Each structure stands twice: as C-alpha cells, then as structure tokens.
Amino acid sequence: MSEEELQMLTETFTNDYVEDVAKERKQTPVFSGVLKYFPDAIAEVAKCSFAGQQQHNPDKPLAWDRSKSGDEYDALMRHLMDSTIDDYDTDGTLHLAKVAWRGLAGLQKHLENLNPK
C-alpha cells in the first residue's frame, strides 16, 4: 500500500472521542503511530471485515453488525489456535487477520464501556 493510499485512508477516519485540542490530537497519531507501522496488516483486517460482511449481510452496506459479534475473546483465541495449524480459515481469510479484528472489536467495546456517550 502506497503512502498516498494510506493518507487517503486516514482522511476517512474520525476521532470524535478526542477533544479538539492540538496537544491531544498529536498524542493520538492514528496515521504515523498505527497505519504507517502496519499498512499490510491493517489492509488484511479490512479484507477480513469485508469477508465478514459478505458472510453475514451481503446485501447491506459495510457495517459492524454487533448482534452477530458478541464472543470476541473466544473467537480471538479460536482463530489464534487455528493459525498454528493452518494460515487460512475455510473462507480464505487469514486466521491472524481474524485475531486482529476480534482484538480491535474487543478493545472498541471496552473503551465504549469505560467512556459511555
């Protein structure tokens, strides 16, 4: 993934949980502190998201259907264990991409519980 593609991707992100204060924004380097470090991994997690959407809601726009995603930690561990046996799940998605997706989902829910809106 090129730096230009990464920049365009980061422009789609919103950061509504961080106050609009320059110092705080600089301490949340989404692009330089995450996307730039792991561009291939982030792209693979995005593919995983798309594959999940096609599995659960193929006729709807891409969205996280939380009603079908409640066992983040069990699924994370299942995919982690499966990744030691085979790189890919039966749908062609890397098990480790599913581990990362489930980890992000668990973290997102945890942060939302810590800071309810």
Mean pLDDT of the chain: 87
- The pLDDT, as a whole number, for residue 89 is 97
Written as six digits, the tokens of 22 are 């320059």
Pick the more confident residue, 16 or 47: 47
Confidence of residue 9 (pLDDT cuts 50, 70, 90): low
Q: What does the pLDDT average to over 89-115?
A: 96
Only one residue has tokens 């320059």, namely 22
Judge contact between 13 and 33, C-beta under 8 A: no
Reduced to 3 states (helix: H, G, I; strand: E, B; else coil), residue 94 is: strand
Per-residue pLDDT tens over the stretch 46-71: 999 999 999 989 999 999 988 887 89
Residue 96, pLDDT above cutoff 90: yes
Reduced to 3 states (helix: H, G, I; strand: E, B; else coil), residue 88 is: strand
Pick the more confident residue, 113 or 117: 113
Angle between the N-to-C axes of helices 72-83 and 95-114, in degrees from 0 to 180, rounded to the nearest 10 = 160
Only one residue has tokens 């499966």, namely 82
